[in-house]
C-alpha cells in the first residue's frame, strides 16, 4: 500500500514555496525516474510546478489544491513525491509500470490566503473564521482548460503527457460525518471492489462514511453510502440553467475530470473528500439515521454562517456548538487515506489481479 511510505514521517502543512526546493532537488538527484517541471506562475506570481515520476507505459495524473481551503491534498502529493523518491529502490516496480504526472498544488495564491488558519491547525475556530475559498467564476476545479492562468498551465502539462488511465483530483471537506469518495459515473459499475476496500480503510482509521444522497443536485448522483459521482461543469451549468440563473451557469467551465477524459484513455477519475473535522451529535438521537441523510452535518451546516459571524464579532458561541462534537482528523490519517485511494485507483484501473499483489509498496 502506498500509504506505508509515511512510516517514520511526521507530516505537517508546508507552503508551495517552502517545499519546492526539496522537491526540485529530489528530482534532480534521481533523473532516471523523476523530472521537475516549471509550469509558470500564478496570477500573483507564485511558482507553479509539476513532477513526472516513473517511466512506465501507464500514465496517472494527480492534482491537488483546486479549492483553496483544502490543504491536505497538496500535502499528500508533496509527501508522495519526496517519500517515493527517498524509497525508490523499494518502489522500483511501481516506477517501471507507471508514470505519475503530478501537480502538487494548482492554487498557491489560495494557499497563501488560508495560512492564518493552517498555521493554527487544528484550531477549529481559526478555520471557521479564516477559511477562504474562491467563488464560482474563480473556482480552479471548474476552470479547465483556460479559466485562469493556473488552469492553462496545468492543462498544458497534463495534455503533454496524455492520454491518462487514472486521474485524481485530491480535495477535502471542512466538516462531514466521515469519508467520501467521488467516482466518475462511467466507472461506477466497475468499481465495487474499490468502494468496499475504501470503506474498510476508512473504518480501520476510525472514520464513518459520509452518507449524503443529494439526488443529482449539481450532478452529484448517489452511488451508495460514502460514494457519489464526480462533479462536472456540464452538470453544474445544467443545474443553474434549470433554475433560470444563466449568469451563474456561465461561471462554470469544465472540471479537471472532464478535461482528463477529453485527453483520451478512458480514465478512471476519482475525487477524494476527507473531512478536516468530523461532526456528530453530542447526544445521538434515539431513532436510527435516515439513509442518505447526514442529519448532524446538515444541522451543523445551518448554524455555520451564524457561528462565523459571531467569531468575527467576538460574541459567545457555546450555545451554537452545544448540540455537536467536532473532532479534528489527524493529518497523517488523512494523507494515509488519500494515498490508499490512489492505491485502489491503480488497482481498479490497471490490474484486475490487484496492484498490491504484484508490487511491494512498503
pLDDT value for 196: 98
pLDDT value for 360: 44
For residue 211 the three cell numbers come to 452518507
Q: pLDDT by residue (tens digit) across 189-221?
A: 999 999 999 999 999 999 999 999 999 888 899
DSSP codes joined into one string, 286-354: SSPPPTT--HHHHHHHHHHHHHHHHHHHT---HHHHTTEEEEEPPHHHHHHHHHHHHHHHHHHHH-TT-
* Average pLDDT of adjacent 10-residue blocks, the chain of 362 residues: 88 95 98 98 97 97 97 98 96 95 98 98 98 96 98 98 98 98 96 98 97 92 97 93 95 97 96 98 90 97 97 95 97 97 97 48 42
Q: What domains appear along the chain, each with residue ranges and CATH number?
A: 2-358 (3.40.630.10)
Torsion of the alpha carbons at 63, 66, 70 and 72, rounded to the nearest 10: 10
pTM: 0.95
From residue 182, alpha-carbon distances to 57, 98, 318 in Å are 26, 23, 34
Q: pLDDT by residue (tens digit) across 27-63?
A: 999 999 999 999 999 999 999 999 999 999 999 999 9
b or e along 292-307 (b: 16 or more beta carbons within 10 Å of the residue's beta carbon)? eebebbeebeebeeeb
Number of Cα atoms under 13 Å in the Cβ half of residue 245:
10
pLDDT value for 312: 94
Amino acid at each position: 500500500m502506498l500509504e506505508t511510505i509515511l512510516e517514520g514521517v511526521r507530516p505537517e502543512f508546508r507552503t508551495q514555496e517552502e517545499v519546492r526546493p526539496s522537491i526540485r532537488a529530489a528530482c534532480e538527484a534521481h533523473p532516471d525516474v523523476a523530472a521537475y517541471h516549471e509550469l509558470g506562475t500564478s496570477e500573483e506570481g507564485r511558482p507553479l510546478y509539476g513532477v513526472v515520476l516513473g517511466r512506465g507505459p501507464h500514465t496517472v495524473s494527480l492534482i491537488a489544491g483546486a479549492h483553496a481551503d483544502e490543504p491536505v491534498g497538496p500535502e499528500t502529493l508533496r509527501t508522495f513525491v519526496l517519500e517515493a523518491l527517498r524509497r525508490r529502490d523499494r518502489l522500483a516496480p511501481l516506477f517501471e509500470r507507471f508514470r505519475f504526472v503530478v501537480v502538487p498544488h494548482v492554487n498557491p495564491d489560495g494557499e497563501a490566503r488560508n495560512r492564518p488558519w493552517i498555521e493554527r491547525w487544528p484550531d477549529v475556530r481559526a478555520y471557521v473564521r479564516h477559511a477562504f475559498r474562491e467563488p464560482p467564476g474563480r473556482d480552479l476545479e471548474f476552470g479547465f482548460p483556460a479559466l485562469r492562468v493556473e488552469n492553462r498551465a496545468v492543462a498544458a502539462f497534463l495534455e503533454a503527457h496524455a492520454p491518462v488511465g487514472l486521474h485524481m483530483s485530491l480535495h477535502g471537506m471542512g466538516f462531514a460525518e466521515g469519508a467520501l469518495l467521488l467516482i466518475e459515473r462511467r466507472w461506477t459499475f466497475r468499481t465495487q471492489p474499490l468502494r468496499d476496500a475504501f470503506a474498510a480503510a476508512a473504518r480501520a482509521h476510525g472514520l464513518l462514511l459520509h452518507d449524503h444522497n443529494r439526488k443529482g443536485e449539481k450532478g452529484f448522483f448517489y452511488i451508495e453510502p460514502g460514494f457519489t459521482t464526480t462533479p462536472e461543469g456540464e452538470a453544474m451549468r445544467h443545474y443553474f440553467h434549470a433554475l433560470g440563473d444563466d449568469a451563474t451557469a456561465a461561471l462554470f467551465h469544465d472540471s479537471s475530470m472532464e478535461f482528463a477524459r477529453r485527453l483520451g484513455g478512458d480514465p478512471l477519475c476519482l475525487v477524494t473528500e476527507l473531512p478536516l473535522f468530523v461532526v456528530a451529535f453530542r447526544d445521538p438521537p434515539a431513532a436510527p439515521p435516515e439513509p442518505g441523510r447526514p442529519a448532524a452535518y446538515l444541522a451543523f451546516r445551518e448554524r455555520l454562517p451564524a457561528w462565523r459571524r459571531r467569531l468575527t464579532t467576538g460574541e459567545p458561541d457555546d450555545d451554537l456548538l452545544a448540540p455537536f462534537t467536532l473532532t479534528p482528523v489527524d493529518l497523517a490519517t488523512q494523507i494515509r487515506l488519500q494515498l490508499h485511494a490512489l492505491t485502489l485507483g491503480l488497482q481498479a484501473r490497471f490490474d484486475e489481479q490487484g496492484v498490491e499483489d504484484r508490487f511491494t509498496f512498503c
